Chain A
Amino acid sequence: MEAKPPLRDRIMRRLRAAKEIYEGVYIAPYRSTIHREYLRQHDAFMLLGFSDLLGVPNPIQFYMLESYPALIDEFHEWHVRMGMEHPPEGGFRCC
């Protein structure tokens, strides 16, 4: 017969399990909802900022220039997410 692990360890293991169940049941869906909403808002933002690439005139295209360094990585995530393997013509050649 195996020696039981010390009581402290057993309690800690159960607490960890409880925490994982809690995260799996409650936090994970919550987290993915937040993430989906984040992506949705980010898409809308990129659309307003780069609408000219899709043929929609963008009155502030010229004023987005100074934000380009900060936006180039987000631009890559965006076009991949939009189902475009390569960046749209006229946009950053980020990959």
Chain B
Amino acid sequence: MARADGDGAPAGGRFPLLLTASIDRPILFFGGKGGVGKTTMATRAALELADAGHKTLLVSTDPAHSTSDILQCDLGPKPRPVVADCWAMEIDPEQEADDYIAAVKERIREAAPPRLLTEVERQVDIARVSPGAVEAALFDRFTRILEEEGAEYDRIVFDTAPTGQTLRLLSLPELMTAWMSGLIKRRQKVGALAKMWRNVAGSETDDREHEDPILNALEERRGRFHRARQILIDSDRTGFVFVVIPERLPIWETETAVAALAKHDVPVAAVIVNQILPKAEAGEGTEGFLAGRRERESTYLARIRENLGDWPLLGVRLQESDPVGVDALRRIRAEVLGGTE
């Protein structure tokens, strides 16, 4: 049934469109202010793509486990099957940071001189609680998913954390690559000068003994950041879908966020306006609470059309009951609100 009225053809219903009918790309991010329905829309999109026969992975970075909740299954840090062709996973940022620290300690135990082991481990433990640790671990996992799961699945749908955090995550590759490049450049000069110094000092040692593990580690990481960034800014492969509701603050925030993404060259695929009030029923009148809400909604929709109309605008009506479970999610449809196709 989900497939029957796909392809954007108005099939007679009030909500004829699939969310992904016009925004199908290998990698989709769903973002927006907290509470606007990101998780619902991302999950719906993943189900649509899977129903269309694409091997799809839904990735949630929301520590609140809302994906488990609306899919009514227990998800973890590894992909688990939900329905045919659809897998889902939930990443817990704190757990990612712990795992990363554990992996670093493992490597340190192999490499560090025993007399310094305690000190290095203490230092690593300090870093674990420093600001930015969780973000960095999440970002590390994120770049791995883009590369590894990206090769394994036809579609990846990211259900991202609320806007601020997500924008930061998407802007990190740029910032970090630049910082890394500075560091690598210095390190290369240090290496070259050390070699020159050994030459004039008549040192007999072989250059291969001086291979720099730090340089190798930095370059490997920069390579991964760089590849992540290439994927993020490729509008053929990646699209960011904003979910917004026709209310003041979510609209304001989305306008800012869209501009921020543009600044970092991350392509916006569409804006989904969620929780649009149902049309007035016969005999409802033009007075009263709902009529007032509708009127306000229409001014907000006008603002959305004006300020976010550079992208395809899709509307999703306010549901009568919570869309929980695969069947309820599959009933969600969108309608074209305007904007650029």
Q: A63-B136, A68-B124 are in contact. Are A27 and B119 (CB under 8 A)?
A: no
Residue A22 CB within 8 A of the other chain:
no
Most buried by B among A27, A69, A72: A69
Q: Which residues of A in the span 30-52 have a Cβ within 8 Å of any Cβ on B?
A: 30-31, 34-35, 37-38, 41-42, 44-45, 48-49, 52
- 0/1 interface trace, chain B 167-196, chain A, CB 8 Å (1 if under): 000001001100110110011011001101
Residue A3 CB within 8 A of the other chain:
no
**Given the complex of chains A and B, what is the CA–CA distance between A91 and B116 in angstroms?**
13
- The residue on B at minimum CB distance from A47 is B186
Residue B304 CB within 8 A of the other chain:
no
B133 partner residues in chain A, CB cutoff 8 A:
62
Name the distance in Å between B170's Cβ and chain A's nearest Cβ.
14
CB pair A66 B107 closer than 8 Å: yes
Name the distance in Å between B180's Cβ and chain A's nearest Cβ.
6
CB pair A92 B218 closer than 8 Å: no
User: Chain A interface mostly helix, strand, loop or mixed?
Assistant: helix
The number of residues on chain B lying at the interface, defined by a beta carbon within 8 Å of a beta carbon of chain A, is 44
CB pair B126 A67 closer than 8 Å: no
CB pair B197 A70 closer than 8 Å: no
CB pair B127 A65 closer than 8 Å: yes
CB pair A34 B196 closer than 8 Å: yes
CB pair B108 A68 closer than 8 Å: yes
**Given the complex of chains A and B, what is the CA–CA distance between A35 and B194 in angstroms?**
8
- The residue on B at minimum CB distance from A76 is B116
Residue A71 CB within 8 A of the other chain:
yes
Residue A60 CB within 8 A of the other chain:
yes
B140 partner residues in chain A, CB cutoff 8 A:
63
Residue A94 CB within 8 A of the other chain:
yes
Name the distance in Å between A34's Cβ and chain B's nearest Cβ.
5
Residue B52 CB within 8 A of the other chain:
no
The number of residues on chain A lying at the interface, defined by a beta carbon within 8 Å of a beta carbon of chain B, is 34
Q: A59-B176, A68-B123, A90-B126 are in contact. Are A38 and B197 (CB under 8 A)?
A: yes
CB pair B213 A59 closer than 8 Å: no
- The residue on A at minimum CB distance from B109 is A69
Between-chain CB contacts (< 8 Å), 9 pairs: A34-B200, A38-B193, A63-B140, A67-B213, A68-B120, A69-B113, A69-B120, A92-B119, A93-B119
Binding site for B on A (CB under 8 A): 27, 30-31, 34-35, 37-38, 41-42, 44-45, 48-49, 52, 57-63, 65-72, 90-94
Q: Given contacts A27-B200, A48-B182, A65-B127, could you give 17 more A-B pairs where the C-beta distance is less than 8 Å?
A: A41-B193, A45-B186, A45-B190, A48-B179, A48-B186, A58-B179, A60-B179, A61-B132, A63-B221, A66-B217, A67-B218, A68-B112, A68-B120, A69-B108, A69-B116, A70-B111, A91-B123
